Structure 1
Amino acid sequence: MATSYADSAQAREWDRRYDAWGREKRAKPHEFHDYEAAALKRTQALADRDIRLLAERKASAKRVAAAVDAIGEFWGLKEASA
């Protein structure tokens, strides 16, 4: 509890000194988080991930089908493709 009081008192003192110097306090826009831009980035990243996963599943299905065909050909369960 004493720490929060000390921090608050120190902050008030710095504010008083800063105002006493005649400097204006301005908001610094770069210190604020842009939630809309972050949400848009997150949505785009999820869409990109979904597209990539779909392409990976299609490629995996082709590889599995080729492997099954090769096994079938090896054991004589399927005629060799030309």
Structure 2
Amino acid sequence: MATSYADSAQAREWDRRFDEWGRSKASKVEDFHDYEAAAQELTQRQALMAAQELVDRKARAKRVAAAVVAYGEFWGLK
């Protein structure tokens, strides 16, 4: 807690001195997080994961069905 207070106090002091020197504090684009792009990327990733999950479930169902058939043939249930 003391560190975060010291850091913020030091940052405020530096900002005050920087302003006194007459230098502008231009913010850089990379200093800000683009929430809309992150949300869109998350949505796309979730859609891809859902599509892959569907493919995996179909493949799993085929493997289970094949195993049940093989089990039935082995024990002569067919």
Whether TM exceeds 0.5 here: the answer is yes
- Map Cα deviations across residues 19-62 of structure 1 (whole Å, 9 max, x no partner): 23332110111010101100101100110110011011000000
Query: Offset of 1:12 from its aligned partner?
Result: 4.3
SS at match of 2:38: helix
Q: 1:65 to 1:35 in 2, by over 3 A?
A: same
Q: What is the correspondence of 1:6-21 to structure 2 with a 5 Å cutoff?
A: 10-21=10-21
Match of 2:24 in 1: 24
Distance 2:4 2:72 in 1: 74
Q: 1:59 to 1:4 in 2, by over 3 A?
A: closer
Structure 1 unpaired stretches of 5+: none
Structure 2 unpaired stretches of 5+: none
Percent identity over the alignment is 68
Structure 1 runs (4+) greater than 6 angstroms displaced: 3-8
Match of 2:55 in 1: 55
RMSD: 2.3
